[in-house]
Chain A
Amino acid sequence: MLTLPALTSDIGVAVNTNVQKTAPVRRPVEPVGRNFMHHAQRTLRNHTWSEFERIQASKNVQRVEEAVDPDEALFDDELADESLLEHDPRDWKTADLYAAMGLSKLRHRATDAQVIKAHRKMVLKHHPDKKSASGGLEQDGFFKIIQKAFETLTDSNKRAQYDSCDYNADVAPPKKGAKYDFFEAWGPVFDSEARFSKKQPVPSLGGPDASQADVERFYNFWHRFDSWRTFEFDDEEVPDDSSNRDHKRYIERKNKAARDKKKTADNARLAKLVERVGSEDPRIKQFKEAEKKEKERKKWEREAGSRAEAEAKVKAEAEAKAKAESEASLAANAKVDKKKAKEAAKAAKKKNKRAVRGSAQAADYFGDADKAATIDEQVGLIVDTVDDEQLVELAEKIKGDVKAALAEYAQKLIDSKKLPASLLSYFA
């Protein structure tokens, strides 16, 4: 054992910097072995010692973790059901064989290798030799159950029969009327039922976002579900035929009938289950609604042509009607206007006539007051004889020289032979 000299003087850290260390020699190292690879990594990546040690430590931890048998984690740590220890080995059929093997978590999923491994583990723990060595009583009942379980689970035929009647592996469907999440409640139910399918893999229920094709595949599969489930495990013990052959045959017949009945009942149960799921599936409702909407949309699209036509028709009709109405109102207005104009013209004529008639009087009969009656008579003749246009002109002109205007028109009437000059003697 190394002992160090005692400290005699007060030295903290005294580095002899003046010293010339012996020069190192450069030599090749042998590129073999783990330590060389570590050396290479240190040199290449410039790790310090502490960094390198840390990296190595973390690698070692990983290696240790990997070394643990992954199966171990899947086995039960403790016996799932303590009452199995007291279970009567003669009634081994009623015991949970998977729990006895420590496979209550894996059940039908356990591989043959896992069964063998689990059995070895249980035997090491529960062998009667072990029990009696540790001072226990000679109770080998549980060990017998383990052996029976091993016998059953390692024979593929027997295991299939046991799995068929392993009700512990069933997942109960959700209660009707209770509130539950559809996918959470039904997914495991179908995953557990899937173990009886002859066809593998079995499509799973999927999530709320599953495509319609997936959902249809799921329902198609389950509507045509082909199950290998058999109920031979529940059979009544068949006696050997040495004593009574008839009785044996009777039991056999009874067993077969019971099996068939159970099988039918199981198929019916499953059909009911699938039907119920279908009715509750929110995705199916969604798909139906989507389908309906789609149909409507299609119909709408299909009728687009005729609808446009009808619309155009209605529009044209409305337009024609509006046009007719406006025309009618225009015509009515025009009538009224005409009437009014007529009346106005009439009134104007009257007024003009009156003005012309009165013009001579207003002009004091041009200084010929004695001939007033003649003038009036002749003016009256002129007024009555001239046409409307001439009357208007006359009415305008009489605002100037009345006598000249009258004379002019009298002359015009005479010229046009509407009146004989004799009748218009005054103005002619």
Chain B
Amino acid sequence: MSPIVGIAFGNTTSSIAYVNPKNDVDVIANPDGERTIPSVLSYVGEDEYHGGQALQQLLRNSKNTIINFRDFLGLSYSECDVSKCAAGAPAVEIDGKAGFVVTRGDGRQEQLTVDEVVSRHLNKLKLAAEDYIGQKLSETVISVPTNFSDAQKSALRAAAKKVGLNIIQLINEPSAALLAHTESFPFKEDSNVVVADFGGIRSDAAVIAIRNGIYTLLATSHDANLGGENLDEELVEFYAKDFQKKNQTNPRKNARSMAKLRANAELTKKTLSNVTTATISIDSLADGFDYHTSINRLRYELVANKVLSKFAQFIEDVISKAELDPLDINAIVLCGGSSFTPKLSSNLEFLLPESVAVLGPQCKEASNNPNELLACGAALQAQLLSNYDADELAQALDPVVINTQHLKKAIGLVDAKGNFVPVLLAETSFPAKKTITLKKAKGDFLVSVYEGDHHIKETIVEANAKAEQDDESDWSDEDDEPEVVREKHYTLASKLMELGIKGAQGLELSFSLNNVGTLTVAARDLKSGKVVKGEL
């Protein structure tokens, strides 16, 4: 049986991945060795170029080079933001939908609808994967943004069908990324996670609650005008200014010059993610003047600061959209090519409380290739689905199964100090089960089960009190101001039940919620096996 590949189909780049026979996720490289394959098609005469080769055509043959076409799929022409592909072949209206006109050999004009372009792109990806794996492919899992409409999804299915790829499931991009992340770095506890996808031309973020390994989307946010290209633009502007100052020539007037600058700016940006200095060297940028300069990371970060703070703001927005506080968030998973930028992670770390782990490429607890997360997640899902037949999958995707009840408030215990200890967190989907083992518990105990309200407690710590604690840091002027310490805090809401346990020799408490929300709390004595059980 041929494996099922996972495809991450992005506006800027696409990736293909599959789970190889050794059970590792392989991101498949195309024949040019690219693992993140630019979603670009270019036509020169009768030849069709794809991926990196096509991207190079953007400089000289931009009118026949199709870029950033994914988001047009399945939309009417009026809904499309055609300015996105201004740098390449312009989008035109074909049968009420977006399309492109390219010039083939002998000056023949060829009209390509977006559906056709997507089909050709998927076909190239399929061929690359078939070359790599050595088997024919017929089935795939593709990740799509959370705001993809049903019409867009069915258009994607049709486009894939045309090249012999049967999409067995379309999964949401943040879920795919989280799936790939948790596969290698599982969260030890139930968490709330922000998955932020900073792509080339758009950004998406989602707040996901992970409860018992089941993901629930709490909020999503999209920004179609924020992405890696904004960073490039800042750099281009910086270089243009610099060039103008040095040579008294404005490169902005010449589209070719701008394309050259943009290509080099992108390269510089990528280089600066890995090293601290990058040089740029362009022969004959404008009016025959060469341009040669170097930039260090600090300068770049200053130049791009405005955009980078937008990225951080974007994440804060999605958290508030989910009606949560940054303190409720356990981690931020960064994916997409732009998240390579080190400043992005450090900005977030600075902005958000310490309890939030920023899982970007700089973190050792996260993937080194955030741009491959989506494809890996799709591949993992594909491998999982290969164990199930179509009927089982169709049943599992039934709305009755997918739409489940979620706890509104956390359910937990009261500990010896009278504090609420959450066991089943809010947003836990039914049915659920959680077990706590207290090996050292000996004697008589009271297990009181409560619902818990949580809120953020803000306490103001006096500056001098803080200063006393760390008197070495007397240089900081921040310490002079009173600091607000924010803490996540639970208060007891309604009491659900109490269980009295006598003569315990180690306890195992299990909380289980069934489909209709009946809560069963059972306390089992580890030694005698005696069970005290309450049901509500």
Contacts and interface: CB of A to CB of B under 8 A. Distances in A.
Given A4-B438, A30-B214, A44-B395, 8 more contacts: A13-B499, A20-B494, A23-B408, A28-B404, A33-B213, A37-B396, A39-B401, A39-B429
A35 B213 contact: yes
B127 to A, nearest CB: 27
B406 A24 contact: yes
A29 B500 contact: no
A175 interface: no
A42 interface: yes
Contacts, number: 184
Interface string A21-43: 11111111111111111011111
A20 B536 CA distance: 10
B396 A31 contact: yes
Contacts of A12: 499-500, 532
B415 A2 contact: yes
Contacts of B355: none
A39 B500 contact: no
B44 interface: no
A26 B396 contact: no
Residue from A17, A35, A39, A48 whose CB has the most chain B CB atoms within 10 Å: A39
A28 B401 CA distance: 9
Nearest to A35: B213
Given A24-B408, A39-B429, A7 B501 contact: yes
Contact of A32 (B175, B445, B500): B175
A24 B515 CA distance: 11
A47 B485 CA distance: 46
Contacts of A41: 396
A20 B490 CA distance: 19
A6 B409 contact: no
Given A12-B500, A22-B408, A7 B421 contact: no
B502 A7 contact: yes
A30 B216 contact: yes
A40 B406 contact: no
B176 A1 contact: no
A16 interface: yes
B517 interface: yes
13 contacts: A5-B446, A6-B443, A14-B499, A15-B496, A21-B536, A22-B409, A23-B408, A24-B405, A27-B403, A29-B216, A32-B171, A32-B176, A33-B214
A318 B331 CA distance: 120
Contacts of A15: 496-497, 534-536
A26 B217 contact: no
B463 interface: no
A49 interface: yes
A37 B388 contact: yes
Given A33-B215, A36-B214, A43 B536 contact: no
B77 interface: no
Interface residues on A, range: 35 or more
A48 to B, nearest CB: 8
Contacts of B213: 33-36
B433 interface: yes
The 3 closest A-B pairs by CB, nearest first: A35-B213, A40-B396, A11-B500
A395 to B, nearest CB: 126
Nearest to B215: A30
B10 interface: no
Contacts of A25: 405-406, 408
Contacts of A34: 213, 384
B164 to A, nearest CB: 24
A21 B445 contact: no
Contacts of A10: 500
Contacts of A28: 216-217, 399, 402-404
B215 A32 contact: yes
A62 interface: no
A65 B214 CA distance: 28
A24 B432 CA distance: 13
B125 interface: no
A3 interface: yes
Contacts of A33: 175, 179, 182, 213-215, 380-381, 384
B163 to A, nearest CB: 24
Contacts of A24: 405-408, 430, 517
Given A13-B499, A27-B403, A32-B179, A49 B408 contact: no
Interface in A341-397: none
A43 B384 contact: no
A8 interface: yes
Contacts of B397: 31
B172 interface: yes
Contact of A19 (B494, B512, B534): B494
Contacts of B366: none
Contacts of A26: 403-406
Contacts of B440: 1
B215 A29 contact: yes
B214 A35 contact: yes
Interface in A35-78: 35-37, 39-44, 46, 48-49
Given A14-B497, A24-B406, A32 B381 contact: yes
B494 A29 contact: no
A206 B312 CA distance: 79
Contacts of B501: 7
B169 A31 contact: yes
B441 interface: yes
